[in-house]
Amino acid sequence: MARIRDCLYEDKTRHGTLRYRFRKDRDSPRITLPGKPGDAVFEDAYQRLLSGQDIRKSALDRPRSKHAPGTFGDLAELYFVHMDELLDSKKLALATHKQRHNLIGRVMPILRDGQMATMEARHIRHVMQQFKNTPHQANNLLKSLRAMFKFGVKVGYLEADPSVGVESNSKVTDGFRPWEIDQVRAFYAHHGLGTKANLAMTLLIITACRRSDLVRLGPGNVQSIEGKPYLSFVQEKTGFRDRTKVVVPLVDALASAIRATPTGEHTFLVTD
pLDDT tens across 208-243, in order? Answer: 998 888 999 999 999 999 999 999 998 876 555 556
Cβ(230)–Cβ(224) under 8 Å?
A: yes
Average pLDDT, rounded, for the chain: 87
Q: What whole-number distance in Å separates Cα of residue 146 and Cα of residue 119?
A: 13
Nearest to 45 by CA among 30, 32, 58, 60: 32
Distance CA 237, CA 24 (A): 26
By three-state DSSP, how is residue 75 classified? helix
HSE at residue 18, side-chain half, CA atoms within 13 A, is 5
Weakest mean pLDDT among 13-27, 119-133, 170-184, 243-257 = 13-27
At residue 85 the predicted structure's pLDDT band, cuts being 50, 70 and 90, is confident
